[in-house]
Amino acid sequence: MTIAEVSEKFDISQDTLRYYERIGLIPGVNRTKGGIRDYSEEDCRWIEFIKCMRNAGLPIEVLIEYVTLFQQGDDTIEARKQLLTEQRKLLIEKMEKMKKTIERLNYKIEQYEHAVVPAENKLKKAEK
The predicted model scores a pTM of: 0.75
Integer Cα distance of 49 and 61 in angstroms: 15
Give residue 58's pLDDT band: very low, low, confident or very high (50, 70, 90).
very high
Say if residues 39 and 32 touch (Cβ distance below 8 Å): no
Integer Cα distance of 116 and 70 in angstroms: 56
Query: pLDDT tens-digit profile of 75-114?
Result: 999 999 999 999 999 999 999 999 999 999 999 999 998 8
- Tell me the fold of 1-71: Multidrug-efflux Transporter Regulator; Chain: A; Domain 2 (1.10.1660)
Closest by Cα among 85, 88, 6, 5 to 45: 6
Strand partners, 31: 37
Per-residue three-class SS string for 14-60: HHHHHHHHHCCCCCCCEECCCCCEECCHHHHHHHHHHHHHHHCCCCH
Query: pLDDT tens-digit profile of 32-56?
Result: 999 999 999 999 999 999 999 999 9
Q: How far is CA 66 from CA 1, 26, 63, in A?
A: 25, 11, 5
